[in-house]
A = this chain, B = another copy of it.
Amino acid sequence: MSVDRRDMADELGKWEVQVRKGGLGLAVLAILWPGRLYGLEILRQLESQAGMSIPEGTIYPLLSRMKAEGLVDAEWVEADAGHPRKYYRLTDPGRARVREMTQSWRAFAQGLERLLAPIEGDIS
């Protein structure tokens, strides 16, 4: 009934999530470019290489979708120790897609950067 004081605080914390939504799929495909990786390894490399911290609840459904689309394929590999790992690798259509998405991404980022240009003049 009263004012939602909740909103203003929560929304601030949500922006980092919103920001990366669009590029997340590209980031995952891109990190597979050099070679195969297993699930948790993808998360760790996204964190260390690109500063993105993605939860498991996001990555596994995403990888499944990509596999269903034929962009990646997966292969179980026995580890020397511990739980077996499922390694993901880009397929040829996957590589083609990464290149397409990279172009789309850059077009978008450049368009947006054009809008942001006037803003940075304002260094308080």
Identify the A interface with B (CB < 8 A). Answer: 7-8, 11-12, 15-16, 18-27, 30-31, 33-34, 49-52, 68-70, 93, 98-102, 104-105, 107-109, 111-112, 114-116, 118-120, 122
Contact = CB atoms under 8 A, between A and B. Distances in A.
A104 B23 contact: no
* Secondary structure class of chain A's binding surface, majority of residues: helix
Contacts of A18: 22, 25
B101 A15 contact: yes
B108 A31 contact: no
Contact of A70 (B8, B15, B22, B99): B8
Given A22-B23, A51-B108, 20 more contacts: A7-B69, A8-B69, A8-B70, A12-B100, A15-B100, A16-B108, A19-B104, A19-B105, A21-B22, A22-B24, A27-B111, A30-B115, A33-B115, A49-B115, A50-B114, A52-B108, A102-B116, A102-B119, A102-B120, A105-B116
A109 B109 contact: yes
